[in-house]
Amino acid sequence: MRIDILTLFPDSVNAMMNVSILGRAQERGYITIRSHQIREYTTNKQMQVDDYPYGGGRGAVMQADPLYRCWAHVTEVHGPGRTIFLSPCGRTFTQDVARELHAAYGHLILVCGHYEGVDQRFLDECVDEEISVGDFVLTGGEIPAMAVADAVCRMVPGVLPDPECFQEESHWNGLLEYPQYSRPAVWRGRAVPEVLLSGDHGKVADWRRKESYKRTMRRRPDLFARFDETQLTTKAEKKVLQQAKDELAAEDGETCDGVF
């Protein structure tokens, strides 16, 4: 997997992408993440990349030509890639989108905007799609680009020790992850759930699944509403789900009718 990030602030990107898990994965050759300074592709001494918007208005707009020159250099040297502009106008980034990008593309080009936006002609000419990390606005596209890169790269074989490292986490299967605990067994009077100390792997698995259901129903009912219960094919699986519903209803002081 190769990811090229077009940005005005490559040092900020490098500071995050070249350390910890992703940094080690790059050293071992599993992934490649490179940032490119858009200013280096200007044709003026001031290295100007923005100008006033046609039609008036406050602020400035990133010019099409420096962006295009930077993008063209990346595609000429490293080959074509799926070009994504990080924008609040794009489709919302989710775990499913991350899986799609990981499965379908070996090369991503992420474009970070700034100022009041990017000249639409560059988007029309070079960008395959726009992606948003949420319904809010940031000062630039670097944080969203790093979020996308991180979410996609951690699924590349070898980046994490085992697929279970991401397959059991929140959103992978449409649910939130179960609570996690570590040593000591009792901290400030709060004890680790007894089942986790039992050594019974089957009971632990059922407890984790049940707590995942409960956490999703309580915190993200919108997610749980999309959960396909028909995928539960055994009586044991259905029993765990019903236990989760019953316990949640009891904890919330409600009468459980199987609908949340």
- Looking at the DSSP bridge assignments, the partners of residue 130 are 85
Query: How far, CA to CA in Å, does 253 sit from each of 26, 184, 225, 239, 249?
Result: 51, 31, 21, 21, 6
pLDDT score at 11: 97
Please determine whether the domains at 2-153 and 186-252 fall in the same fold group of CATH. Answer: no
**157 DSSP assignment:** B
Query: Tell me: the pLDDT tens digits for 156-206?
Result: 999 997 665 444 555 567 899 899 999 999 999 999 999 999 999 999 999
pLDDT score at 199: 95
Helices 10-17 and 142-153 cross at an angle (nearest 10°) of 30
Mean pLDDT of 108-120: 95
Residues in the chain: 260
- Token look-up 């099409």 returns 64
260 band by pLDDT with thresholds 50, 70 and 90: very low
Mean pLDDT of 223-250: 94
Mean pLDDT of 205-228: 94
Domain at 186-252: CATH code: 1.10.1270.20
Where are any strands of DSSP class E within the chain? 2-7, 32-37, 50-51, 61-62, 82-92, 107-112, 129-132, 186-187, 190-191
Please give the Cα distance from 205 to 239 (Å, whole number).
Answer: 13
Asked whether 126 and 4 are in contact (CB, 8 A), the reply is: no
The superfamily CATH assigns to domain 2-153 is: SPOUT methyltransferase, trefoil knot domain (3.40.1280.10)
Query: Tell me: the pLDDT tens digits for 19-74?
Result: 999 999 999 999 999 999 999 999 998 999 999 999 998 899 999 999 999 999 99
User: Distance between alpha carbon 76 and the CA centroid of its chain, in Å?
Assistant: 28
Query: Could you tell me the residue ranges of all domains in the chain?
Result: 2-153, 186-252
258 band by pLDDT with thresholds 50, 70 and 90: very low
Please give the Cα distance from 64 to 109 (Å, whole number).
Answer: 16
